Chains A and B, each alone.
Chain A
């Protein structure tokens, strides 16, 4: 599948934003008001900023962005529509939570309820994003039970690294629970992706050119219907990154391991260097997530490629 930059940016940026938002909601629910106004305000702005930037970038690849509001209407059948509805719905408890969280003397139980609701809606939105892909039976690598868990764990891991970095910048790198959550999330993200890659690499083809054309047996293509590449080929027949798949996978793994080591280091050096390590960890986990998402698209083979010379998928 053709990896559109806007969709990769959307899923990774909003994923990290929702991960951060969920963790902030849980922090507020368990610890009450933010310990520092600026830490709370900047964290909320980063989370909502990433989500908003992601959602806006997702409209860039539309043929008619001005009609994007229509996408809220078909939540009964469409995961894309459900995602849009939930993304907008999440803003309401998130903004209320953010306001109560940074202000002093807020009602603790109200804060806890809003924090938990925000965290749940944020994660359900990420699940909807993943289901847009996981619901397509035409792309076997996407209709895979690991797709939703991988989206959720990458969202939490990149969000946790962000929260860790924000805490470090505001002089709070030594919180053991946050360090542990961040490291565990990074390890789980790497493991989940590894399981997914091994699984799709061992997937046996189930559809052949003979099934697609109904002619059965050995079918070969001898003439394309058109003299230059058409939409179907450029959108569904993308294969540039496939040949670099192995190297790109190593890069994803290396980025996650490096981010983990940097978080560990920031945790150990509770001094002026901690924020530098933590911010570097954000950059590396971000690169890892973007490359992972690129591969998610580029390595996915569409059933329609059977009509264009692919023998089996």
Chain B
């Protein structure tokens, strides 16, 4: 059913990810492990078309962008993983004409039933975050499942019952947990670091949160940047004038 479950009850479980933009190094390990797990799991197949051809294409559930903010000394680059945010009011679910797209009442995970999806693509139009990709070969919509086939999987060791992307992250930039429980580790992390929503004004109420990059260390009195071209102390001494003459001759 594509009408949304009532998730406003206190204590409602809201499973999701917290992504740390400060420590993400853009290594793509999360995207690759996501692809590897999900092409054989719930979302299988995650088709690639002409993967070794000149113009490869395919469905991925996690994409890592690179952005730059600030100017001059304040400029910084950062990596930005983008996947389904498992919103509390996801229009991708309510627009679905078949009921293939649904939000689970028990944990808030947004899923697509691959057996009833007709591939009309309307859900991807309704998502502001580009979280849904159409699998041309399979003819249905694919999206992040929060590794629903891992997190409850009793065939896996307890420490492996996490989304593949979280397990793969080498810098611990991805955290998984219940964001509906204010005492959970992820909720405390969001509180401590000022975690934020993407496009909050659109009112989709994303469950996943992003942690902002920490302030630059040089601003905090650490390493100073100095121009590399300056030679010596700039005091006009004989040694400096000799070096300056050599520099001119060699230039």
Contacts and interface: CB of A to CB of B under 8 A. Distances in A.
Contacts of B58: 230
B15 interface: no
A89 interface: no
A198 B66 CA distance: 36
B197 A73 contact: no
A81 B97 contact: yes
A34 B125 CA distance: 44
B133 A74 contact: no
Interface in B126-150: 126-130, 133-136, 138-140
24 contacts: A62-B118, A62-B120, A63-B120, A63-B140, A64-B117, A65-B118, A70-B97, A73-B97, A77-B96, A78-B94, A79-B95, A80-B97, A136-B91, A137-B128, A138-B202, A211-B198, A215-B212, A218-B70, A225-B65, A231-B57, A231-B59, A232-B130, A235-B124, A302-B125
B247 interface: no
Interface string A204-222: 0011010111110111111
Contact of A228 (B57, B66, B124): B57
Secondary structure dominating the interface of B: loop
Interface string B81-114: 0100000000101111111100000000000000
Nearest to A63: B119
Interface in B1-39: 1-4, 21, 26, 31
B133 A64 contact: no
Q: Chain A interface residue count: which class?
A: 35 or more
Interface string B194-229: 001111011000000010100000000000000000
A76 B3 CA distance: 7
Given A77-B94, A79-B95, A1 B125 contact: yes
B215 to A, nearest CB: 13
Given A62-B118, A231-B59, 6 more contacts: A61-B121, A77-B2, A77-B95, A211-B199, A212-B198, A223-B26
Nearest to A74: B2
A177 interface: no
B248 interface: no
Given A62-B118, A235-B124, A222 B67 contact: yes
Most A Cβ at <10 Å: residue of B26, B60, B130: B130
B203 to A, nearest CB: 8
Nearest to A233: B130
Contacts, number: 187
A232 B82 CA distance: 12
Interface in B148-200: 196-199
Interface of A: 1, 61-65, 67-68, 70-74, 76-81, 84, 132, 135-139, 206-207, 209, 211-215, 217-232, 235-236, 302-304, 307-308
B24 to A, nearest CB: 12
B66 A71 contact: no
B57 A70 contact: no
A231 B118 contact: no
Interface residues of B, number: 64
B241 interface: no
B234 interface: no
A11 to B, nearest CB: 14
Nearest to A211: B199
Nearest to A210: B69
Contacts of B57: 228-231
Contact of B122 (A132, A137, A304): A132
A64 B199 contact: no
B117 A217 contact: no
A16 B230 CA distance: 76
